[in-house]
Structure 1
Amino acid sequence: MNAQIIDGKAIASKYLQQIGAQVELLKTKHNIHPKLAIVFVGENHASQIYIKNKERAGVACGIEVQILHFVSDVSQRELEEVIVGLNEDCSIHGIIIQMPLPARIDASILSLVDAKKDVDGFSYLNSALLYHGMPGLVPCTALGVIKLIESQNIAIASRRVAIVGRSNIVGKPLFHLFLQRNATPTLCHSHTQNLSDITSQADILVAACGAIGMIGAQHVKPGCVVIDVGINRSDDGKLMGDVEFDSVCKKASFITPVPGGVGPMTVAMLMHNVTLATYMQSNLDDVTI
């Protein structure tokens, strides 16, 4: 068996087209122009690449992206004032604070972003809405994983799902998204004993542990759908996932590559969230994304 590759780049491109149609409707029918503000501190090279990807996605679907770039020694207070100002600016529909931040900046600054503009989906309110199965803004990577699976017409209901990694960005929100779709998810982490005993029973396996090649063929049930969320750098600078691609590919039915799998969908779902946030803030209900 050789797994079918799920082309995240191609699927993300299709989603951006759909989002673009919705953005065009906002502009022509309602005279509303969606706008995303990205707060970026310092000169982190990886962050600069991610921001460029977000700018390109914005151009692709008609969303304006504004970069607010600050030197690494910017004060906590100054950043807080900027975020409060963005919250109050009606022309801004989405706000993200590009991570990582300098160590001296308290991470509590993330909680200052208005939940209605929190297009990363990290706020306490959006987390609570997800927990209760209510409409809100969902973390982009978690949402992207679900959309990738659904794009292949893979059944989720009644399936056993193993998620390896319990972060607030991927693992925990994914658990609730799968549960809402009537799957039976298990959330594994660094203290899970006999990991392969759990993962090898799963119909869908999501690797989001941040460790190169942690998931091998012994972790995978034949015919399993394998989604690799990991983005790691090898010693020679190569991008690698959490899954041993070559060996797992021989057992899985579907698999995402790294790069070109979940990453592009994360960016597409950010644009999805900006568009959705714009509709929510404008009290419009004709959104179809």
Structure 2
Amino acid sequence: MGQIIKGKPVADAISAALAEEVKGLKVKGITPKLTIVRVGANGSDLAYERGALKRCQEIGIETEVKELPVDISQDDFITELKKVNEDKATNGILVFRPFPKQLDESVIKYVIAPEKDVDCFSPVNVAKVMESDVTGFAPCTPSAVIEILKHYEVPMKGKNAVVVGRSMVVGKPVSMLLLNENATVTICHSRTADMPAVCSEADILVVGIGKAKMIDSKYVKDGAAVIDVGINVDAEGKLCGDVNTDDCVEKASMITPVPAGVGSVTTSILAKHVVKACKQQNNL
């Protein structure tokens, strides 16, 4: 029977360390600040925002929310984003995506200031993840996966890691972060031949494919660590992941639940990136 590894202890440990760092910055007269840019009032955005604001408040990070009208034009949105870029007090910017149809992400991603882009929206930060450039900011969710593996002392160096999913949100960046930890990485996707056979070779299996409970025990190697990044709603209206946890927990050595797994670490990573951005901008 595998261990269910929850996100809260990881998040709490990160937050406690950050609170100490922020105290030290405040002694120097520096207070890190996050500005959230949100278009409209999408329910999932609001839920994440509440968690992020609470986490920042606990750590001592200042926050501001810029709520923009859901029908804002692209030009007006870019004007507002540039104002936040130029705001000396703001160290980190989180822009909620996806956007309404009138806003073109492929244009806007070049506008956000890369040094304040704490969730890897800018192509500059995407490139830094590829180059293992530690001055950049990887996306928060893939970073949370790595922090969980480190917290629970799952060895990555030289291990076979299989990532299910190739999105820019999870699959591709988490593959690069695993590679940076010296894992040997395979990416599976909808065109992969015999996916269960590939996955069942993995010492570490990271799943972010967006299909409720798709991964069952035939995908899991005995003793593997399984990290479930999926968020879905099952037939009974309950939140569930991409992994059938009940079926896989017998074979896995460790497995993250949904909810209370990876998602609960992401706001701590966001806060960590805001503090890092603040320190870099102040040459500390």
Give TM class, smaller chain: over 0.9
- Following the alignment from structure 2 to structure 1, what is the Cα–Cα distance between the partners of residues 170 and 218? 23
Q: Confirm or deny: 8 A CA contact 2:109 2:123 kept in the other structure.
A: no
Aligned to 1:26: 25
Aligned to 2:266: 266
Tell me the C-alpha RMSD between the 2 structures. Answer: 1.1
Structure 2 residue corresponding to 1:55, chosen from 41, 53, 72: 53
| Deviates most, 264-273 or 231-240 | 231-240
SS at match of 1:111: coil
Provide the TM-score with structure 1 as the length reference.
Answer: 0.95
2:48 aligned partner, one-letter code: Y
Unaligned runs of 5+ in 2: none
Q: By how many angstroms is 1:110 displaced?
A: 2.7
- Following the alignment from structure 2 to structure 1, what is the Cα–Cα distance between the partners of residues 238 and 69? 29
Q: By how many angstroms is 1:68 displaced?
A: 0.6
Q: Confirm or deny: 8 A CA contact 1:97 1:110 kept in the other structure.
A: no
**In the alignment, is residue 90 of structure 1 matched against residue 88 of structure 2?**
yes
Instruction: State the aligned residue count.
Output: 282
Q: Confirm or deny: 8 A CA contact 1:122 1:169 kept in the other structure.
A: no
Aligned to 1:287: none
| Deviates most, 8-17 or 140-149 | 8-17
Aligned to 1:40: 38
2:172 aligned partner, one-letter code: K
1:116 aligned partner, one-letter code: E
Aligned to 1:12: 11
Aligned to 1:67: 65
1:180-239 deviation per Cα after TM superposition (whole angstroms, max 9, x unaligned): 111101011111111111100000000011110111111000100000000112244311
Aligned to 1:221: 221
- Following the alignment from structure 1 to structure 2, what is the Cα–Cα distance between the partners of residues 107 and 123? 10
1:101-141 deviation per Cα after TM superposition (whole angstroms, max 9, x unaligned): 21221112133111000000232111111211111111111
SS at match of 2:120: coil
**In the alignment, is residue 185 of structure 1 matched against residue 166 of structure 2?**
no
Runs of 4+ in structure 1 off by over 2 angstroms are 234-237
SS at match of 2:198: helix
1:256 aligned partner, one-letter code: T
SS at match of 2:129: helix
1:8-29 deviation per Cα after TM superposition (whole angstroms, max 9, x unaligned): 012201211111111111111x
- Following the alignment from structure 1 to structure 2, what is the Cα–Cα distance between the partners of residues 72 and 125? 27
> Where does 1:225-264 land on structure 2 (aligned, <5 Å)?
225-264=225-264
SS at match of 2:110: helix
2:254 aligned partner, one-letter code: F
Q: By how many angstroms is 1:144 displaced?
A: 0.7
- Following the alignment from structure 2 to structure 1, what is the Cα–Cα distance between the partners of residues 153 and 71? 48
> Where does 1:33-182 land on structure 2 (aligned, <5 Å)?
33-108=31-106, 109-135=108-134, 136-182=136-182
- Following the alignment from structure 1 to structure 2, what is the Cα–Cα distance between the partners of residues 66 and 191? 43
1:213 aligned partner, one-letter code: K
Identical-residue share of aligned pairs (%): 39
2:105 aligned partner, one-letter code: A
Provide the TM-score with structure 2 as the length reference.
Answer: 0.97
- Following the alignment from structure 1 to structure 2, what is the Cα–Cα distance between the partners of residues 36 and 162? 34
- Following the alignment from structure 1 to structure 2, what is the Cα–Cα distance between the partners of residues 144 and 250? 24
